[in-house]
Amino acid sequence: MANYSIGVDLGGTNLRIAAVGEQGNLLEKITLGTQVALGRDHVIKDMCDAIQRLAAKYRASDSLMGIGIGVPGIIDMKTGMVRESPNLPDWADYPARDEIEKRLGALVILENDANSAAFGEQWLGAAREFDDMAMLTLGTGVGGGLVLNGRIWHGMTGMAGEFGHTTVEPDGAQCGCGNRGCLEAYASATAVVRMARETIAGGAAPGLARAATGNAEFSAKAVYNLAIQGDEEARKIFRRVGRALGIVLADMVNALNLPIYVIGGGVVSAWDAFSPAMFMELRERSMVYAATDPEPGSGNGGAAGRVQPGGQTKTIVTRALLGSDAGLFGAARLPMVGQ
Amino acid sequence: MANYSIGVDLGGTNLRIAAVGEQGNLLEKITLGTQVALGRDHVIKDMCDAIQRLAAKYRASDSLMGIGIGVPGIIDMKTGMVRESPNLPDWADYPARDEIEKRLGALVILENDANSAAFGEQWLGAAREFDDMAMLTLGTGVGGGLVLNGRIWHGMTGMAGEFGHTTVEPDGAQCGCGNRGCLEAYASATAVVRMARETIAGGAAPGLARAATGNAEFSAKAVYNLAIQGDEEARKIFRRVGRALGIVLADMVNALNLPIYVIGGGVVSAWDAFSPAMFMELRERSMVYAATDPEPGSGNGGAAGRVQPGGQTKTIVTRALLGSDAGLFGAARLPMVGQ
């Protein structure tokens, strides 16, 4: 019998569940809507039902190692409880892991969704073959995850990897976390839209103003579309995204000297618009990056200069490869390595 | 026979050498002047002679595990060469480790001096009993070191732990590393003097102006002396030191969620002047610190709220305990644990 585990990506919109073999081979993937509005118990029942259907199907041929669940929030790894989750408010102070374990009769591990995504990219994505890596996920917020020696680095209370709240501008934009000028306030999809609206309010941004007018769904993607059409104000916004990312990556490279940093999430589709400014800042601000630059003197960088792992001495900064599946695969990986 | 090793702190002024037992017991300490001006070979000869005298003395009773040498510069851990050291310019591209090993016939490990200091504080100082810790050394520059799972975290090329070059103000003061607005440009002794001279040049700082006039040795200590006498301009400078430290510590706590952060170096004697601003920034800027604050709501913090290791859930930020011996003990520890 082959070993497999089940990974769950518990998003605010979709509940995705996958059975994954020990070699990273996908057995089957299910996507359900997350009925968050119907409450915690409803979501858990939907999830457990789907997991049980999957498990029943593979019981005869494969051996289930356990279930990993990526949750958008801060997890207390010891108690298996969700400490804080804006998207899942009624999960706080509820023994989620133990309850799910009881229902399924199998090992269950809860993990922060950004940590799961990092673990997925480390296992099967852009950082496969590397034991040490960090990931930034540029979505509604900016998530972060850190993998050291092939394990997620949790820190003392499971709250490590919050690179999205690194201070970029000490007196900058207010962030939801209480700080000012966090990376998240400059490099998330939410921040792109906020900066676009600020630019529109300042006048002299006709392209952005036209795109936003009467568009209730005005999005980071709309700003990117303008940028690739050459709209200078839209391009400036992505240069600010790149500058903020470059500052934080420089801090990370100086502090950790990892071989690879992976950037994922929806905003990464604007790579061409933000990455030149990002690599420029990184080169100027990190002496450690400058000493390990895969393309010294280049205006570009990173992926193109990729070198083989094992004895490598170049710092790679590159796009994620697994898209929204990173968290799903990372969650499935959790029971395979334990906590 | 008891095991011991020899630690060396190769400073720009003093060359200090200690024989240290496996339990951290000091057998003997020697301090020589570092004759940097006489060149690399002279310094190495002085060092090797002193080490051989020590080793001869303990040969009959103790077993030498090796020699650890803390060097102010960037070390290539694989080759044992000094990559870059402003204080030891003629050491670059010289196989220092191999040469010293050949002369002494014993295991030799070179290590960055700030990493050695962190390792010393982790072994015997403020972070003893903790496997994970980071240290900032506020001296002429700002050094940093990171210990994870009881080992110095070197990163890919041995350049990790450069927390002193974390960006605090993206458009701030030029730093020697090439970046602008590094922690080092606000929290080193050099930075304190620079900020004092800037304040004097701006006028309306009579106390600082008097202290500096005709004082070729005008120092961070002189600024601190004014601060404790209540001079408002001098106090403001240390609040800037504290603010910069608080910003960087917030980044570190969010990223790594370590149980303890140790601050050492000469500037730490001004703890009373800078730490209130430091803790204020840390509380405001790090949600992870806020969730693990040993003294929530307090204007002070850190050391007083120290909790016992093992299951602790509080973040400790505290002063180093070993002073200038931290690097010496840390260097001696290196051969005991290997690289």
The 8-class DSSP code of residue B166 comes to -
B118 touches B125 (CB < 8 A): no
Query: pTM of the entire structure?
Result: 0.94
The larger pLDDT score, comparing residue A309 to residue B304, is at A309
ipTM of this predicted structure: 0.93
Q: Which residue of A has its CA nearest to B180?
A: A285
Rounded CA separation B17/B36 (Å): 16
Which residues have CB under 8 Å from B311's CB, separation 6+? Answer: none
The larger pLDDT score, comparing residue A260 to residue B94, is at A260
Average the pLDDT over each of A183-187, A239-243, B335-339 and give the range with the smallest value. Answer: B335-339
Query: Does the pLDDT at position A308 exceed 80?
Result: no
- The phi, psi pair for A59, rounded to 5°, reads -60, -40
The pLDDT score that the predictor gives to residue B298 is: 58
Which residues have CB under 8 Å from B68's CB, separation 6+? Answer: B5, B6, B7, B8, B108, B109, B111, B116, B330, B331, B332, B333, B334, B335
The pLDDT score that the predictor gives to residue A310 is: 54
Are B159 and A288 inside 8 Å of each other by CB? yes
Choose, out of B254, B283, B314, the residue to mutate when testing the contact with A (most A CBs < 10 Å): B254
Q: Chain A contacts of B313, Cβ < 8 Å?
A: 156-157
The pLDDT score that the predictor gives to residue A298 is: 58
Rounded CA separation B147/B314 (Å): 18
Query: Does the pLDDT at position A19 exceed 90?
Result: yes
Average the pLDDT over each of A58-62, A86-90, B139-143, B194-198 and give the range with the smallest value. Answer: A86-90
Query: Does the pLDDT at position A297 exceed 70?
Result: no
The dihedral through the CA atoms of A157, A163, A169, A172 has a sign that is negative
B137 touches B264 (CB < 8 A): yes
Are B179 and A285 inside 8 Å of each other by CB? yes
The pLDDT score that the predictor gives to residue B307 is: 44
Mean pLDDT, residues A180-201 taken together? 96
Rounded CA separation A255/B154 (Å): 10
Are B286 and A169 inside 8 Å of each other by CB? no
Are A2-122+326-337 and A126-321 in the same CATH fold? Answer: yes
Q: Chain B contacts of A287, Cβ < 8 Å?
A: 162, 165, 177-179
The larger pLDDT score, comparing residue A313 to residue B278, is at B278
DSSP string, A306-320: ---SSS----EEEE-
Query: Does the pLDDT at position A304 exceed 50?
Result: no
Domain residue ranges in chain A: 2-122+326-337, 126-321
Q: Chain A contacts of B254, Cβ < 8 Å?
A: 159, 162-163, 165-166
Which has the closest alpha carbon to B67: B116, B31, B23, B32? B116
> What topology is assigned to A2-122+326-337 in CATH?
Nucleotidyltransferase; domain 5 (3.30.420)
Coil, strand or helix: which one is B272? helix
Q: Chain B contacts of A156, Cβ < 8 Å?
A: 132, 257-259, 292, 312-313, 315
Rounded CA separation B271/B192 (Å): 13
Q: Chain A contacts of B309, Cβ < 8 Å?
A: none
> What topology is assigned to A126-321 in CATH?
Nucleotidyltransferase; domain 5 (3.30.420)
Indicate the CATH number for domain B129-320.
3.30.420.40
- Largest Cα separation within chain B, whole Å, is 66
Q: Which residue of B has its CA nearest to A310?
A: B156
Are A292 and B157 inside 8 Å of each other by CB? yes
Which of the residues in chain B have pLDDT under 50? 299-308
